[in-house]
Amino acid sequence: MARRSAAPGSRRRHGEVRRERRLTAWFTETELEAVRRAAAGRKMAPAAWLAKLGTDAAGTDAAGAGEAGGRPLAGDVAAAVAGMSDATEVARKIGYLFNQAVAKLHTLGEHSPGLDASAAVVARAVARMEAATLKTARELRR
């Protein structure tokens, strides 16, 4: 199938397969500005950059098969991204429980047993997650 011509002023040529679905995402101003800067760094529109990022992470091209853009996402990096997603959810739950313990401390003046030790464990886990995130980000930039 021949590629379709791009609209006047378009930044890229259209792919062979027309995208028929649209997703909507909500961002804070800070998040949106970060997306715009990242997209501009790749000379892409923000929506196109997000679509490319999503299809690369999913390991699909516009036709739904193969690797997007001819750049396969390494299996170990893809596994790390999935692991970080899981770890983020766990960290969110830990943060919620930790906040409850601190609220109890502030409200009742009762120090939960092991709160200091728990805080140290959480701090170490967050530091490891941050290191893993930065390492994965470096791998994805290659």
- Mean pLDDT along residues 45-71: 67
Query: pTM value?
Result: 0.38
Show the tokens assigned to 95: 């943060």
Condensed to tens digits (0 to 9), the pLDDT of residues 1-31 reads 455 555 555 565 666 677 778 888 888 999 8
Question: In percent, how much of the chain has pLDDT > 70?
Answer: 73
Report helix angle 46-58 to 29-41, nearest 10. 80
Show the tokens assigned to 12: 């890229």
* Cα distance between residue 111 and residue 98, in whole Å: 12
* Cα distance between residue 132 and residue 122, in whole Å: 15
* Cα distance between residue 18 and residue 111, in whole Å: 59
pLDDT of residue 101: 83
Condensed to tens digits (0 to 9), the pLDDT of residues 25-57 reads 888 999 899 889 888 888 888 888 888 888 777
- Mean pLDDT along residues 105-130: 83
Helix (H, G, I), strand (E, B) or coil at 10: coil
* Cα distance between residue 94 and residue 86, in whole Å: 13
